[in-house]
Amino acid sequence: MKMKKMTAVIASLCMMGAVVPFTETALPEQNVLTASAEEQTYQFSDNVTINYTVEADDTVTITSVLMSMWVNLAENETHLELPKNISGHRVTKIGDSAFVPSQHTVISVTLPSGVTNIGKAAFRGCDTLETVVLPDNLTEIGDEAFLNDSKLTDITLPANLQTIGESAFKSCTSLTSVELPQSLQSIGASAFDKCGLTSVTVPGSIKRIEELAFGDCKDLKSVVLEEGVEVITTSAFKGILSAATFDFVSLPETLTTIEPNAFSTVTMESLVIPKSVTTVGFQAFSSSTLKEVYILNPECDFSSTSFPNCTTTIYGYKGSTAEEVASQNSRLNFVAFGDADSSGKVDILDVITMNKAILGKESLSEEQLKVVDFNRNGKPESSETLSLMKYIVGIDSFLME
């Protein structure tokens, strides 16, 4: 082992350009790289051993962390604060499968500030692990990094994190909350599948929510998708058995595609599908409790199978795909935006009804209000009447501007 340490020291001195008693010819770069890639050992404490490699760029990857089993470990051994430097080299990566579950009983891990990447399955199956403190420089959490860590309750994702790999937190059943940073560029398939999350806000930096990313999160009651999210892929939120309080009002105006089964089995009563959405797939919303669906894009491509289990009212524009789909299925009742007097037509009589309501001469029922109260403040207003007039005479194509 001493020889290995010596080799590492020589290698690092060479890279730092220090004067060493070798010429370049005597110790060609190729040999340095070969020597530095070897796994070396650092004795962290009496019972904890860290294996590592020094990479070509002079940084350290921790390849494994091993603990003595069946002994009483010290506080700093079960609550591990990994070193910032090993043999003078900065620790930047936690390697694939670094924490082999059968070889440690770690309760918390604090990663040093230089760590940028957590490798594949690095902490997979660590069933004693409760807390992980991640450094600000971290950009990547690898596939399956925390898969099946059933006691993991506390993790704060740092502000520079860009990638969460596939199944990274799958089956972290004790993980009830997580804040996804605005820096995130991708969340892999099944990343939070079967987690204990009760709410989630997906930042707009995420364009696609991948398959089963939040599937089977049975306690999830609130989902907010921020402006920027474009595609909700197949089964992204499938299997969430939540109360009817599920909040979907905030589907973003940037959303274009809701793929099949996206929200299958999610219980909800009301749904607004924004104007930006062009496609709603098969069984996207299978909730039987869905009472009303607002479809704001007149050309949205969907069918009655997008909402297969409910008897619901579809609110949409006259002449829209929403009207066409509803007319072909007895479960679906259609009500047109702007039809203030519930005549089935949208014309100047609706403007008159609106004006009477504004003047207090007539009142609108809750149902009538739903198709003319465009700003959803519970009352008809002259701005809404004006919008309705412009729509009727063909100046505007939309009412909800």
CA distance 369 to 5: 77
Return the residue matching tokens 């990857």: 61
CB contact set of 178 (below 8 Å; sequence gap of 6+): 155, 157, 169, 192, 197, 200
Structure tokens at 175: 């993980």
Comparing CB distances to Ca ion, the nearer of 130 and 347 is: 347
Report which residue's Cβ sits closest to Ca ion.
343
Q: Which residues bind to Ca ion, rule: CB under 5 A?
A: 339, 341, 343, 345, 350, 373, 375, 377, 381
Find where tokens 């909700």 sit. Answer: 232
Angstrom distance (rounded) from CA 111 to CA 125: 18
Q: In what order do the strands lie in the sheet with 108-110?
A: 79-81, 108-110, 131-133, 154-155
Least separation in angstroms between residue 302's CB and Ca ion is 25
Residue 143 or 339: the one with the smaller Cβ distance to Ca ion is 339
Q: How far is the CB of 346 from Ca ion (least distance, A)?
A: 5
Of 5 and 345, the one with the shorter C-beta distance to Ca ion is 345
C-beta of 363: minimal distance to Ca ion in Å?
Answer: 14
**Minimum CB distance to Ca ion smaller for 173 or for 353:** 353
208 versus 356: smaller Cβ distance to Ca ion: 356
Between 84 and 370, whose beta carbon lies closer to Ca ion? 370
Please tell me the distance from the alpha carbon of residue 23 to that of residue 17, in angstroms, as a whole number: 12
* Residue 259 structure tokens: 């793929």
Q: Partners of 333 in the beta sheet? A: 313
Minimum gap (Å) between residue 294 Cβ and Ca ion: 15
CB of 274 to Ca ion, least distance (A): 19
Residue 62: beta bridge partners? 52, 94
Q: Which residues of 57-92 are buried (b: 16+ CB within 10 A; e: fewer)?
A: ebbbbbbbbbbbeeeebeeebbebebeeebbebebb
Question: From the CB of 271, what's the least distance to Ca ion, in Å?
Answer: 20
